[in-house]
Each structure stands twice: as structure tokens, then as C-alpha cells.
Chain A
């Protein structure tokens, strides 16, 4: 076996061994909560995640959450974070929860500012972070009444349909939520939240509610099955041509 064949074989092996990950793709996501009280600014979560279409699991959900009560100019997607807007953005880098919802046909995931889900006051029950427990707690921060005990957490809860690129239904949008208990999101003892009345029984503490979510393929591709196929073809073509060169000599 000459070197070309060795190369081809190695490439084929690599492609094959990669096939275990072949269904994982990376997506960009922008989720918008409408904030009637802070117009024209809204709350945005702008981030990315990896999605495994075989197992329907979300990993590495991370991104930034805008604080609509800071700054004076709204986020503009075409100029990017802090391109036009002057809002404060929080980094949410800890995807701590995710689950599949068969009835809605998709996967939920929430990414947090802290490496902990502690967000809301637990005096009214609840798990301290879910939108429902946030509504029950009146959006009051974890550790209340001691302001010093507030860990200042924040999160965005997103939903990825089984086919990530399909447009969300209203029922799916209704379940999107965010909470911001960090310094810039606090109103009295209430965190700024965004929830829908139909999804969780109440709009957010500043009347915010989920408006839309857009998921797109990432434009800086991590190699995907097609890419591997292309690579394979390309290499095969190279191999063939070099072989033909050898033969014609």
C-alpha cells in the first residue's frame, strides 16, 4: 500500500470513527422577550448550543442576556452585542438543566450566570429557579430578605424543536423564560423576569413576556457529516488524480 492509499485509509477511518458525532450540530440562537415598560429596549438572549438530533439533547448552551433596564438604545442583531445598543449584557455560560418535552415536541435547556441554579426565593416553595417557582415567589431573589445573600443569578430558558430550524409554535414560545437577579436586574427585591401568562400564569415582573426565538445554523461550521463527505471526496479526488499521474508516467 502506497502512501496515498495509507492516507485514504486513514481519512476513511477518521470519517467512520467520527460518525458517532455525525448528528451533532451547532446552532446560533436569539430569543426575544418583549418589555413593554422599557421600550424600545427588550430582553435578548444571544447564544449558541450544540444539538444532537439523534438523542435530542442540548449541550454547551451559552450566550449573553441583555438587561433592558440598563442603557438607552435597543439591541440590533446586524451590529451585534453592544454594536448599537448600550445595554449591559450578562454572560450565561452554565447549562445546568435540560429536558425533553414530548408533548411540545422539543428540548428545553437553561443556561445560568452562576454555576448553580439558585435564583429565586424558595420561601414560597419551588425549586428556586423554574419560571413557575419564580412566579410563585413574586420574582423575589434567592436568599431574601438578606440582599447580601442574593447570589445575583440569571438564566435563559430556551426551547429547541425536534427539527431545530422549524419556526416555534405559540405554545412553544409561551414556555420560554428568563430571569435576571443580578444587580442590574433587581427591582426592589424582585428580579426582572420574562414569562407568559399562558405559559406560567403571569407575565414577568416588569410585564415582559417571550416574543420570539430564532435558531440558525452556525456560520462558522464545525465539520458536519456533509463536510466530512466533501473532505472524503476531495481527498479521494486528490488520491485518484495523483494515482493517475503516477500511472501516466
Chain B
């Protein structure tokens, strides 16, 4: 742990005795309001501490303040109760109030905060600010880190301070690997783990292993994980034989009526090597990670991922100096991505190969400087250079027409470069009042090269229209945030946040150009089965948000706590979609209410508002019977397009999670009831379908000691057939290159009952 020489006062409890913590005033201030950027929080895991035979002291009270009151940090310990049987890291976020999950492939779900999803959020893995490189966002950012490797999750769900945001309007999610572990001075540390898991539904299975070596200054950690799963099954038959019979005959393998087609995953491998070096208040970290996925099906897309290879290099430096701290991050990521159709969609493989390659280079430099004792000045800048090629090779054996004879260039030489700078002041005015004010500006340059279709004719009109325009563009965006927190005593605090946030359109909102239905169907970021065309004249979205949070609890947070968060956001230039009116989209496209349609992105305006409530109460705490805790979480959000009056797409209806938790010895057990109301506010322009309300019961238990951890869970224990409101359209079977064959109006069903078991051994 870096030591500080400045006169440090700390209220933070030390949680690992072998790492005495001393914090400077600056650090303390950071902790009060915001997360300490990427400053290392050293290993406080039950496992490591247990392995070292060091008592663990929980630090919930302090930790809760490391993000704004409206946000949430999930501790490593809470992550651990879930991660072993979870395939998808995004699923770990489901306990965050205000955060919902849009379904996609087995490891590629997309998080949404208060109804704003995907690229409207800033999502970082180990500080790397990444973007998907796929017209369906299959290689989502959180798919790059295996759940078992996740050490911390921070979500800024209300107001994201400018130092943590930028080029996003809907909050920030920071997922980080387990922190590096160092040995005591003069000692060496060798640790590791081997784990395996099995989920009965879909016969998902995998294993993971890690090995580490550390001295007091150096730390090496290698980890690897493998995952495969067959198609999962819904609780009951969901395919109506009468509507599906013709489709089942149409070029697809026979599947059972409860089997969700194109939902399998195979050959998913993550490997990473993390190195860390620390000395006198300086911490250097270098991470190299490689991910490959052999196949991942997408039941709400018309394509499947047939290969994805990701390599990233990530360098981070944190230095604590007398004058403040300094954070430097540099990273580079390269992705090679391939899509085609699974056997369940077509007998033929390959049917329509689609390839993309991207490179992202980014970094940031942040300095935190305390001044006048009670203030902290944060200043910094960051950049992200993103390059994308997205092309679809011609298919052999065809003549000039749909898929011959050249590469179809969906996005050629796509580019989106961003540079941002910010300044932020946090002020500790009195014991009761703390404020944070920040401003930032981002410049975004986007461009793309000229395009072509598979052949002239069919594609020529659109290609000519696109190529005749200038593709280059520049946005200069301005953000500000203001947060004020009032803490009258140790049992309550209130926070008001106001912000202006901007986001420039993404490459996939700007540049996909073909209105030919087949091509447009392949550009779909939201899993609704519709066809999308880009729009080069989109303006940046600008959101104005007001957020109020209140937190009540007993003095030590040891018995109860309740938190409420209300928000209202107006988004100018909200990028929604309108029905395509080009002749090539057909006359019926504008009026169709019961089928898939062709849409084009367009700037509108939107209003989102809602409420998150979360609370816990310890019901009984008895040395013999253990600790019983009731937890609840309720979320509600409404989203409206204020120009058209339509509802926004994929807005989660009123929902709640109610958990009874029991802890005794090494055991932690949970019975969780998840309740979701019917989705009746649906997006008319997208022909979004309604879903019924439902309730699910999940049972989990986990036992851990210093040598091992066993997780057992029964998800959807009552085997209830349900459709997640954010599940998207079921497109997993049948010829998907056209808008009319796959029946419209079927939602992707959720997973039926699944018994899961995971065992992990530590050494």
C-alpha cells in the first residue's frame, strides 16, 4: 500500500491488518464523494484474508460513500456469492437499484441505467473505455471479463461526476478485476484457485483457474476460464405449433418446443495476465488479456457470433504524492469479430458471413490536488481512438444480385476519436455539507470511407446517396455536474444532483447506409428484430438530469438502511427511430403494426423519470441461528419520446426483488422473489410487443472456508414460463435474412428451472 507523508486523518477502518492504511485529506475527500478513480483498493477478500489467517473487518459503512449516494458499489464479497454460477458479468449488476439488463447472447447482455442502455452509458472494464465492434453489439464490453475474475463493480446510476463520465448520458459502470495482492515485507505469496461449475439448464459447464505469485512489491496473476453451453430451455413450450410449423419446416433443424434456438455458446475462453508493481506510493499495473469465443448464439438477433477474438493491453499507474495523487491509464484493444447463421437458422453454413475488426486506443491522466484543507481539485483528460471496419464477404456460387460479387462494406474505415478534458472541485464546507462541481468538454471526430454493396444494382442508389455526402463530422460537447450532499447526522443523508451530459452518436448510428431490408436487418443494436439504417446528420444527445437521493439507516448500518432515489431526465436530440419512408422500404413500412419494419435513426427528444427504492433490515442476529436479513429493491422507470408521444423502447416496468438472506458460519443462503409487472408501455414505432407480469423464485446457498467455496442454486425454482420485458424479439430459428419469415410477436422466453453448482478450491 502506498503510504502518504501528508498529515493524514482517516475514518476508514482498516480491513487487512497486514496492509495498514493511511489516507491523506485528498483521498479522504475523494472517498466521501466519489470513487478514487482507479486507485487500488488492496485485497480484502475473504479468501485471501482467510488464506492468510487474518480477520476480516467489513467496511460497508465507508464503502457506501465511494460513489455518490445515488450510485452503488458491489463489494467483492457480494459478487462472490453470485459469480461462480453466472455466465455473464452483466448479470452481476442486477442487484444495483435502477439498473436493468437487456438480453442478448449467453455472455453478452447489455446493461441499462434508468432506461438508458448500452452506448448511452460509459462502461469500463479495468478502466478501459471500450465500444462494441459489431452491428449487433454482440461483443459487448462486459463480455470481455469473466464473472469469476470480477473484483469490484461500481455503478454511477444517478449523477456521474464529470471525472467519471464523458460522452455518455446515462451513467457509468466500472467493472474491475480482483485487485492485486502483495505479500508482507520479506515474504512471498503464492496463491491460486481452481473452480468448475455446471448449470443443468442448457448443460452449461466450464472451469476456471488462477495462479498468483507475489512479493511485497511485485504481483503476478494469471487466470483462465472456459465456458460452453447448449441452448437453454424455457419452462414450458413457447412455440405455438400452428404459427411455427411452417417456419420449423423452413430451413431449420428441429428443436423442441421449449428450446430457445440460437442460445448456445461454445469455445468461450478468457485468459489474462495481470502484473503489478508498487513502491513508495506508486503502483504500476499491466494487464494483458485475450478472449476468444468460438460460437455464441443470439436468440434476439438475426445472426450469431461465429468467432470473436479480443486482445487488450492495459497499463495503469497510480501515484500518491505530497501534493495529491496522479492516475494514468493507457490501453489498446483489438477485436476480430465474425458472424453468420447458426444451424438452427439455416441448413447452410456459411449463409452470410459478416466480419468486423476494430482497434481502440485510449487513456487518461487525472490529478487530484487538495487545496485550502477542505477542497479537492481534480483535473484531467482522456482520449479514445476507435477504428472500425465492418464488411460482409460475397458468398460463393451466386451471380450479381443480393450477395455477389464484392465485399459489402457496412462501415469502411470507420473512425470515432474522442478527446476530453475536465475540472472538478469537491468541497467539504462543513461537517454536514459537501459539494462537487465539475465541467468538461469532449471533442468527437467521426468519419467513414465510401461504401459499396455486394454488387451494383440493388445497392447502387443507397451507396451513391451515401458516397455523395461528406462522412466526416466533429462535435464539441459540454457537460457539467453539480452535486450537493447534506448529512445532518450519522443516520441520514440527502443528495441533490444536477447535470448536463452529452453523447455523440456512435459509428453504428451514423454510418450503416443500405435500405435493402436484408442489409438493414443486420444492423440492429437492440434485439427487436427490426431493420435499421444509419443517419449521418444526427446531432449529439444532450441530457439534463435532476436526481434526488435520500439514505436513512441506523448509525452503524448494522441493522437497517433504506435508500430512495428519484430522477428526471430530459434528453434533447434523443436518438430514436422513425419508419423508413424511402421507396426501397416499401409503402407498407410506414403503417405496419404487426410485423418487423425498417427504421432510420433520427434525433427526437425524450423524457425519462422514475424511482429506485432499496432497503435492508436485519431480522435476527443470533450466534446460534445466524443472521437473518430481509432485503428489497424496487425500480420504476418511464420513458417517453416527447416529440412523437411514443414510448421509448425497452423500458423496464415496475419491478422488485425481495430477498431473505441467512448467514451462519461459512454459509450464506438466499431466497429471492423477483416480481415484474406487465409491460404495456411499448414503442409503437418499433412494433414492440407487450409482456405479461410474472414472479420468480430463486434459491441460493454458498459455503466457503479458506480452502474452498461451494455454490448451489436453483433458479426459477417454480419453473415458471416468463418473458423478460427486456428480452427482445425471438428470432432464434428460421431464415432470418428477410423480414417476413420468422413470425413476429414472439418474445424471447426466460430460462426455465435450472439447478446450478459450482466448486472452487483455493490454495
A interface residue numbers (CB < 8 A to B): 36-40, 67, 69-72, 86-88, 121, 123-124, 135-140, 144-145, 147-148, 150, 182-190, 192, 197, 200-203, 205-207
Contacts and interface: CB of A to CB of B under 8 A. Distances in A.
A87 B456 CA distance: 11
Contacts of B381: none
Interface stretch (B247-255, B272-280, B747-755): B247-255
Contacts of B350: 188
Given A36-B739, A135-B246, A136-B249, A184 B401 contact: yes
Given A140-B347, A147-B397, A207-B739, 13 more contacts: A36-B588, A36-B740, A37-B739, A69-B458, A71-B457, A138-B252, A184-B400, A189-B346, A190-B251, A202-B247, A205-B738, A206-B518, A206-B737
A136 B585 CA distance: 28
Contact of A202 (B250, B398, B399): B250
Contacts, number: 145
A185 B401 contact: yes
Contact of A150 (B397, B735, B740): B397
B741 A205 contact: yes
Interface string B716-752: 0000000000000000000101111100000000000
20 contacts: A37-B517, A39-B584, A39-B587, A40-B586, A70-B457, A72-B460, A87-B457, A144-B347, A147-B397, A183-B401, A183-B404, A184-B404, A185-B401, A186-B397, A186-B403, A188-B348, A192-B402, A200-B246, A205-B735, A205-B741
A207 B251 contact: no
A187 B402 contact: yes
A184 B348 contact: no
B398 A207 contact: no
A187 B737 contact: yes
B104 interface: no
Nearest to A86: B457
Given A37-B518, A40-B583, A70-B458, A183 B399 contact: yes
A139 B251 contact: yes
A136 B400 CA distance: 27
B395 A188 contact: yes
A109 to B, nearest CB: 25
A72 to B, nearest CB: 5
B401 A88 contact: yes
Contact of B250 (A72, A139, A183, A185): A139
Interface in B251-300: 251-252
Contact of B458 (A38, A121, A147, A203): A38
Nearest to A40: B583
A212 to B, nearest CB: 16
Nearest to B515: A39
Contacts of A183: 397-401, 404
B584 A40 contact: yes
Contacts of A186: 395, 397-399, 401-403
Nearest to B397: A147
Contact of A138 (B250, B396, B455, B740): B250
B352 interface: yes
Contacts of B246: 135, 197, 200-202
B185 interface: no
B741 A203 contact: yes
Contact of A188 (B351, B401, B458, B461): B351
Nearest to B456: A72
A69 B350 CA distance: 20
Contacts of A39: 583-587
B348 A145 contact: yes
Interface in B382-424: 395-404
B245 interface: yes
B608 interface: no
A121 B250 CA distance: 12
Contacts of B348: 140, 144-145, 188-190
B203 interface: no
B761 interface: no
A187 B460 CA distance: 18
Contacts of A124: 249
B456 to A, nearest CB: 8
B516 interface: yes
Contacts of A197: 246
Nearest to A206: B738
A135 B741 CA distance: 11
Specify which of B251, B401, B461, B585 lies most central, judged by the most chain A CB atoms within 10 Å of its CB. Answer: B401
A36 B714 CA distance: 46
Contacts of A136: 249
B740 A37 contact: yes
Contacts of B352: 187-188
Nearest to B521: A37
Given A37-B517, A140-B251, A202-B249, A88 B347 contact: no
B355 interface: no
A203 B740 contact: yes
B341 interface: yes
B735 A138 contact: yes
B458 A72 contact: yes
B731 to A, nearest CB: 14
A28 B740 CA distance: 31
Interface string B347-371: 1101110000000000000000000
